């Protein structure tokens, strides 16, 4: 019995599936490629194209012949048609009717052109979404690296402060330093530990954002294999400053331009409300009598017909629709002109922003190096009794401030570069 229980337990353990946690060790490009394949917003953008194509085929279908088949049964309950001396019995009967019809108007052809424009806009939106996702992944990837670097810098400062605290506590024990000095260092260490924990929490939020962009499980482990030095190419970023701006490559401008074409087609569509509609049909009917001889039959087996409808008077409805469409198109053209000017101004501004961000980055990079040397120098003097604990804490605070300024300048440089790349529609992978 004991052996049986052991065997059953082993069988249960072997048969129980294991749920391994997903793990990703990725470069920036791999993260972007994974996002382009699995991001749900991108999937929705792809579905919008399919939706637009389905609408286009729906418009085409209205221009093709339409066929239908009808079956009906009639029973007049013994009724007879009385023509004086002659009575015609109305026997139970059924009809099989097949009909093929076709209707055409100019509005259908314009509708097809509109459907093509809508499909094109969906394709542009897909490209824009791809660009946005690639930019988001790059920005988050850089932010994670910057946060990790911030954590490293703070931990280095913390280790230095802890070393000084040990030295101070030993000095207090032998009576060559005041307890106040140790207390000041303890407060700064506590403050620094709080800052480190806050940065780590922010880091986890960034990882969650990256998981969302990549379309992976919330519990997935992500390890970044590249560093800031690997990815930050200042020379390449500065080259974008001199790149000419071709506004026709900008996705926002493309969409607005296509929207203008759509408004223009709406004018033509409404103008066709004055135009004729032509339709024709062929109908075949097979009438069958049930259980009795053939009765009175006035249904022709074959029927063909055609019709043309010409609108004469609509009480100004058609005119109002055309006028409304023309006004909408004029508004759209004004918006397009404003957007064109705004994008050109934005290009000029983004170039200035990137230049300023680079200059700030260079300054803060030097500033942090200077403050690191000052802290090291003050720490050495403090150990030799040539500087006070206040000097140490002040210098440490200055270094933390310099580090924060450096991190901010670094992110501003990356953000400015991504913004200019997006405007110029430069491949960000």
DSSP symbols for 33-78: HHHHHH-HHHHHHHHHHHHHHHHHHHHHHTTS-EEEEEEEEE--TT
| Average pLDDT over all residues of the chain | 86
Q: Checking DSSP bridges between strand 86-89 and strand 80-83, what pairing results, if any?
A: antiparallel
- pLDDT at 17 (0 to 100): 44
pLDDT at 205 over 50: yes
Q: Is 95 helix (H, G, I), strand (E, B) or coil?
A: strand
Q: In DSSP terms, which residues pair with 282 in a beta bridge?
A: 100, 304
Rg, the chain, Cα only: 39
Between 255 and 82, where is the model more confident?
255
Q: In DSSP terms, which residues pair with 23 in a beta bridge?
A: 221
Nearest to 423 by CA among 336, 348, 363, 332: 348
pLDDT at 357 over 90: yes
**Helix, strand, coil content of the chain in percent (nearest 5):** 70, 15, 20
CB atoms inside a 10 Å sphere around CB 259:
15
Q: Residues of the chain with pLDDT > 70: what percent?
A: 93
CB crowding 195-234: b at 16 or more within 10 Å, else e: bbeebeeebeebbebbbbbbbbeeeeebebebeeeebbee
- pLDDT at 292 (0 to 100): 63
Q: Residues of the chain with pLDDT > 90: what percent?
A: 44
Name the least confident of 71-85, 159-173, 360-374.
Answer: 71-85
Q: Checking DSSP bridges between strand 93-105 and strand 221-224, what pairing results, if any?
A: unpaired
pLDDT at 2 over 60: no
Cα dist from 289 to 93, 125, 316, 396, whole Å: 4, 61, 52, 105
Per residue in 128-145, pLDDT (tens digit) is: 999 999 999 999 999 999
Q: In DSSP terms, which residues pair with 305 in a beta bridge?
A: 281
**What is the model's pTM?**
0.80
Nearest to 423 by CA among 248, 226, 272, 301: 248
Residue 133 DSSP code: H
**Residue 306 φ then ψ, to 5°:** -145, 155
Per residue in 231-285, pLDDT (tens digit) is: 888 888 888 888 889 999 999 999 999 999 999 999 998 998 888 999 998 999 9
Q: Residue 11 — pLDDT band, cuts 50, 70, 90?
A: very low
Which domains does the chain possess?
Answer: 23-424 (1.20.1600.10)
Sign of the alpha-carbon dihedral angle for 314, 317, 320, 324: negative
Per residue in 319-353, pLDDT (tens digit) is: 898 999 999 999 999 999 999 999 999 999 999 99
Q: Residue 16 — pLDDT band, cuts 50, 70, 90?
A: very low
- pLDDT at 18 (0 to 100): 41
Element (H, E) at 277: strand 277-289
């Amino acid at each position: 019995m004991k052996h049986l229980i052991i065997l059953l337990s082993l069988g249960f353990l072997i048969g129980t599936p294991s749920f391994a946690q997903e793990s990703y060790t990725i470069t920036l490009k791999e993260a972007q490629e994974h996002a382009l394949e699995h991001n749900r917003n991108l999937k929705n953008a792809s579905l919008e194209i399919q939706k637009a194509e389905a609408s286009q085929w729906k418009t085409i279908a209205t221009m093709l012949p339409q066929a239908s088949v009808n079956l009906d049964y009639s029973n007049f309950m013994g009724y007879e048609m009385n023509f004086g001396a002659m009575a015609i019995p109305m026997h139970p009967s059924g009809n099989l009717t097949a009909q093929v019809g076709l209707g055409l108007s100019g509005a259908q052809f314009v509708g097809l052109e509109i459907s093509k424009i809508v499909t094109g806009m969906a394709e542009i939106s897909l490209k824009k979404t791809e660009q946005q996702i690639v930019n988001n992944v790059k920005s988050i990837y850089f932010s994670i690296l910057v946060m990790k670097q911030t954590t490293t810098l703070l931990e280095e400062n913390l280790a230095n402060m802890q070393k000084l605290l040990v030295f101070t506590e030993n000095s207090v024990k032998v009576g060559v330093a005041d307890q106040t000095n140790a207390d000041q260092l303890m407060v700064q260490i506590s403050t620094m530990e709080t800052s480190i924990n806050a940065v780590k929490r922010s880091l986890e939020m960034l990882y969650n954002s990256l998981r969302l962009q990549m379309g992976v499980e919330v519990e997935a482990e992500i390890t970044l294999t590249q560093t800031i030095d690997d990815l930050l190419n200042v020379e390449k970023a500065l080259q974008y400053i001199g790149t000419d701006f071709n506004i026709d490559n900008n996705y926002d401008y493309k969409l607005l331009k296509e929207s203008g074409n759509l408004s223009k087609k709406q004018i033509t569509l409404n103008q066709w409300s004055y135009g004729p509609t032509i339709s024709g049909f062929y109908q075949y009917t097979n009438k069958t009598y049930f259980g009795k001889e053939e009765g009175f039959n006035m249904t022709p087996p074959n029927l063909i017909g055609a019709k043309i409808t010409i609108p004469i008077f609509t009480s100004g409805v058609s005119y109002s629709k055309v006028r409304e469409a023309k006004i909408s198109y004029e508004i759209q053209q004004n918006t397009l002109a404003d957007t064109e000017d705004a994008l050109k101004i934005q290009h000029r501004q983004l170039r200035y922003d990137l230049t300023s961000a680079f200059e700030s980055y260079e300054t803060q990079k030097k500033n942090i190096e200077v403050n690191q040397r000052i802290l090291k120098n003050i720490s050495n003097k403090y150990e030799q009794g040539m500087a006070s604990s206040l000097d140490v804490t002040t210098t440490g605070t200055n270094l933390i401030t310099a580090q924060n300024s450096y991190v901010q300048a670094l992110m501003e440089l990356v953000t400015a570069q991504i913004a200019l790349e997006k405007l110029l529609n430069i491949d960000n992978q």
